[in-house]
Amino acid sequence: MKQKTQKKKTSARKNSAHKEAVPRDISILLAGQAGQGIMTIENILTHVLKREGFAVFATREYMSRVRGGVNSTQIRIATVPVAAPVERVDVFVALEAQTFERYCTRLTADTIVMGDEQVVRACDCSAACAHALTIPFREIANEVGRSVYANTVAAGALLALLDISLDVARDVLRALFAAKGERVVTDNITALERGYKHGSHTAFMHDTYVGLARSVHADDTQVFLAGYEAVALGALAGGVDFCTSYPMSPSTGVLTYIAQHGKECGVVVEQATDEIGAANMSIGAAYAGARPLVTTSGGGFALMEEAISLAAMTETPLTIHIAQRPGPATGLPTRTAQEDLNLVLHAGHGEFARAIYAPGDVAEAFAVTQRAVDVADRYQMPTFILTDQYFMDSLAMAPEEAFAFAPVAKHIVETDHAYQRYALTKDGISPRGVPGYGEGLVCADSDEHDESGHITEDFAVRVAMADKRYARLKALKKEALMPTRSGARGAKARVALIVWGSNKAVAQEAVRVSGRDDITVLHFAQVYPLNPRIKTTLKKFATIAVMENNRRGQFADVLACEGLCTVDVRITKYNGAPFTVEEVVDRIARL
């Protein structure tokens, strides 16, 4: 390509209504059927582009089936950090004809379409077909040796279109396929090179190129990982040594990641026969002194509610991660939602303290998961981490220093003969002993009990114990995380855009893109209990809008119920897809 004169370069920002306000970036959409290796292309491209000095973000969309359907990955490449999906598609790589039906509305005359000739020919979207590059992915793959190499051919063609050399890509392929043997590695490299050569020639013949200047601020210390990996690492950093689950999309990634690294980290991992067993096993492990983590989704968590009450009554530490998806019932198993806040907030019968966290990025997921495990241990109660499918299956970059493992504090005492497991204390936290560590009797009972743990029906004792279990809420509120803020500050800040969980980055980018200098984004990584100081913060805004992926506006209800503010606008989306930057720009234009 160095010998060729590029007459023009297609701008990756041409079809953006806000191109002057947004740092230049490229949005690539890869689509095909389940089983066609979309994630392989994603793995190759994201790791190559990161090592080449670009900021990279990727998010996946997939149907609930083993094979067939339409799966996709959107990859954003930029010279500044990006961590949110966009509607815009600059390059569309189609491995299957039916993908056009699913994504045609997102393609424009500026979108570069790449695919096999028979696939592109099936496109009935005239705008997209105006800029099509036909590359025989399958034919080249078969020439190399197997049709499964079509995805690697596509990755090579894309790297050519982006004007990225293959030096780094070859190393990435060797690492990616090393476990499958030298033949597979060699064939994949050959497929990559053949795809690159054909892609380079085709781009030249069509006078079509896409490229970004490499960032002069490229940082090799940035880590690139998925949401589920960040949650799992946070659990390990928090001292989790027992992890159990009954696999349920989209939470299973946490279980499998900890299982892969459990032995080296000293973690016992158990796949339970059902969700009820998973929760009860964890309570048993915690009674013996372990720090447990249960990972599940909304439907699985619904089965665990009795165990939540058991953990509360026995004052046993328990941390549960819930990766949300649309309900009710099976709902949309592989789509995203923020519909389980009310479920978690009110889970379990009776009244007792709890804490709920909702990270907004991978660095925060690591930090708040670590915090949730520690809070559960210190306060001897259930804590929860709420993520969602979009967050779990997205990959983003963060500074390496954000993933430091801090020393794990132990909150277990050595017991003596006078030990009382449920001793009444001013802060509501009794000294926690475990069987075998000391001479005392560690009595746990699911019935109401006295200070020693023995069953009682004494009304005065009942009131004292109920007050004790609830008393820790006062301390929890004082140490509750304050929302992070970005955007407008000071007198200009007229509108507060409140988000929680995975909507952090999309809200922040949308405000930047909109050019609005009167909107402050407040992101809550803890959604219960809320710090009372938040009320003073919110009083300063003329308009308060809350944005979330559910129909009702569940967090808006929490803010109102806690008496922290009056919510003026509820921005909701509940079709199973995450917010895009363009959508949020449109919605905040009305504020």
In a domain, 93, yes or no: yes
Q: Which residue segment(s) compose the domain that 73 sits in?
A: 25-220
179-232: pLDDT as tens digits: 999 999 999 999 999 999 999 999 888 888 787 776 545 566 789 999 999 999
The predicted structure's pLDDT at residue 286 = 98
Looking at the structure, do residues 457 and 496 belong to the same domain, yes or no?
no
Total structural domains within the chain: 4
- 389, with CB counted inside 10 A (0-12, 13-18, 19+), is buried
Share of the chain above pLDDT 70, in %: 94
97 with 207, same domain: the answer is: yes
Average the pLDDT over 297-305 and give the result: 97
475: phi then psi, degrees, rounded to nearest 5: -70, -35
Q: What Å distances lie between residue 528 and 255, 275, 322, 425, 502, CA to CA?
A: 25, 24, 15, 24, 16
Co-location of 254 and 391 in the same domain: yes
Same domain assignment for residues 284 and 331: yes
Query: How sure is the predictor about 15, in pLDDT bands with cuts at 50, 70 and 90?
Result: very low
Q: What phi and psi, each to the nearest 5 degrees, are found at residue 219? A: -125, 110
- Determine the average pLDDT of the residues in 357-361: 98
In a domain, 235, yes or no: yes
Q: What's the pLDDT at 19?
A: 38
Are 161 and 199 found together in one domain? yes
Residues 139 and 229 in one domain: no
Q: Are residues 425 and 441 in the same domain?
A: yes
The reported pLDDT for the residue numbered 64 is 82
Q: Output the pLDDT for position 525.
A: 98
Indicate if 451 and 494 belong to the same structural domain: no
Is it the case that residue 66 has pLDDT exceeding 90?
A: no
Q: Are both 149 and 264 inside the same structural domain?
A: no
pLDDT at 132: 87
pLDDT in tens, 541-563: 999 999 999 999 999 999 999 99
Q: Degrees (nearest 5) of the Cα angle 582, 583, 585?
A: 65
pLDDT band at 118 (very low <50, low <70, confident <90, very high): confident
CA distance 72 to 108: 18
Residue 18, in any domain of the structure: no
CA distance 430 to 424: 7
- pTM of the complete model beyond 0.85: yes
Confidence of residue 123 (pLDDT cuts 50, 70, 90): confident
**Domain-ending residue, one of 403, 433, 453:** 403
In a domain, 6, yes or no: no
Per-residue pLDDT at 11: 41
11 belongs to a structural domain? no
| Mean pLDDT rounded to a whole number for the chain | 91
pLDDT in tens, 271-286: 999 999 999 999 999 9
CATH number of the domain that residue 115 is part of: 3.40.920.10
- Domain termination residue (choose one: 355, 386, 403): 403
Domain annotation covers residue 17: no
Q: CA dihedral in degrees (582, 588, 589, 591; nearest 10)?
A: 170
Same domain (yes/no): 392, 246: yes
Q: Tell whether 292 and 145 lie within a shared domain.
A: no
**Confidence (pLDDT) at 101:** 86
For residues 136 and 275, membership in a common domain is answered with no
Tell me whether residue 284 is in a domain.
yes
The answer as to whether 13 is a domain residue is: no
* Final residue belonging to a domain, choices 186, 220, 254: 220
